Amino acid sequence: MTVQSSAVPSVRAATKRGPWKEIVAASVGNALEFYDLLIYGYFAVVISKQFFPSDNETTSLLLAVGSFGISFLMRPLGAIVLGSYADRAGRKASLTMSILLMLLGTAIITFAPTYEQIGLLAPLLIIVARMLQGFSTGGEFGAATAFMVEHADAKRRGFFASWQLSTQGLATVLAAGVSALLSYVLSDVQLNTWGWRVAFGIGLLIGPVGFYIRTQIDETPDFKKTVANIAVKTPLRDVLIKGHVSLLLAIGVVAGATAFNYVHKLYMPIYALKQLHIAATSSYLGALMTGITLMIMAPVFGGLSDQYGRFRVLTIALLITGFSSYPMFVLLNTFPSLSTLLMVQAIVGVLIAACLGPIPAMLADIFPTSIRGTGLALSYNFSVTLFGGFAPLIVTWMIDATGNKLAPSFYVMATVLVSVLAIICLGRRMRGISPAAS
């Protein structure tokens, strides 16, 4: 009872001033995590030449984006281990562990010798590093979102949780901006030999800052109360046994948004370079535009989800996304220019924000505090692994197999359909349970 009563003033104080200190602490590390994730995707073409050489250029690229996808196989494991750790040891402990693992993976990639220098050990090092990063990222979403939600007032959870996605937009701005700058100031030879390492090295420079900030934050009041009231904690078992239906529906909810996100945001620079024959610098500017829009608009749609309901906002956003993906690819292929790319990617940023902005708080509403870290991590990361992580590989294969440059839009539409069906089922299941689910 002592812990419970002492936590009340801190909750009121956080509500009064707003949990901005905590949001910034979670956001800095979160931005670094996704910067390291994105920078690999943006330099996939360069990395394919350095670590996965092949006589066939498409095969080389497939191996590189395949290694990007392999890292996502580690995300569910990271979600299980670090998500459960967040529910047992605390959100702060899990967030600190995840950023250390991400830094280790980034260091390996930054300093890894190339295939020409050490042969098959080179791609093996890259795969190990990507697996470490995938494991780290697997625990990041659950712990960071739970941390943001539990420091926020119940009526503004959508707004504050959406900063998780806003910082992903910031990571996109940083990753795309660094990529564009390096491709502009360096020659192709310089970029291929050492320039790409600079991009990863930047992550190593800002990582210690994020680690330090995370060590200075307080644990959430909700978690402290849960620790005081629950003697034995088995979050993984509870999620899989008691919350398995909610878990499956949550995976479906995330599917369309994450597929659209990875196809239009992460894969687009490769698509613009290889399919539209737009210069590398210009292709990165398109991703930069998406990042800026997502960074600004995610909190807007998070706030709208507080006001009008998460299900309503997300359903409308997904339907617009599903119907607009094909026309956007048609427009890009009909008028393959920088201006078209920037316009399309600005629209993409708004739609990604509209889809992903309400999702963190929606998933947090589904799972109670005692299993929230595990439930959030598992649902989000299983969906991202299944529908997002291998999206670059799938759409690269689809284009090559069909010869149709519009093929990526078909993948987006199929996953959006999965999400809409999941939202309908989840809405019926939660009706009358949570005001935010209306």
The answer to whether the Cα torsion of 255, 258, 262, 263 is positive or negative is: positive
Mean pLDDT of 226-243: 72
Q: How far apart are CA 397 and CA 401, in angstroms?
A: 6
Please give the share of the chain, as a percent, with pLDDT higher than 90. Answer: 24
Tell me the H-state helices in 44-90. Answer: 44-51, 57-88
- Give the pLDDT band (50/70/90) at residue 355: very high
Residue 201 in this model has a pLDDT that exceeds 50: yes
CA nearest to 411, candidates 403, 426, 399: 399
Mean pLDDT of 334-363: 91
CA distances from 262 to 74, 281, 346 (A): 17, 19, 15
Count Cα neighbours of 103 within 13 Å in the Cβ-side half-sphere: 16
Q: Give the pLDDT confidence score for residue 318 in this predicted structure.
A: 95
Q: Give the pLDDT confidence score for residue 146 in this predicted structure.
A: 80
Q: Give the pLDDT confidence score for residue 18 in this predicted structure.
A: 63
- For the segment 235-272, what is each residue's pLDDT rounded down to a tens digit? 788 888 887 888 999 999 999 999 998 888 778 877 88
Which of the residue ranges 345-354, 384-393, 408-417 would you say has the lowest mean pLDDT? 384-393
The amino acid that residue 156 corresponds to is R
Burial 71-99 (b: 16+ CB within 10 A, else e): bbbbbbbbbbbbbbbbbbbbbbbbbbbbb
This prediction has a pTM of 0.77
Q: How far apart are CA 340 and CA 331, in angstroms?
A: 8
Q: Give the pLDDT confidence score for residue 351 in this predicted structure.
A: 95
Mean pLDDT of 30-36: 80
Q: Give the pLDDT confidence score for residue 1 in this predicted structure.
A: 39
Residue 14 in this model has a pLDDT that exceeds 70: no
- Give the pLDDT band (50/70/90) at residue 428: confident
Mean pLDDT of 11-15: 45
Residue 56 in this model has a pLDDT that exceeds 70: no
Q: Give the pLDDT confidence score for residue 55 in this predicted structure.
A: 65
Residue 371 in this model has a pLDDT that exceeds 90: no
Is residue 391 within 8 A of residue 415, CB to CB? The reply is: no
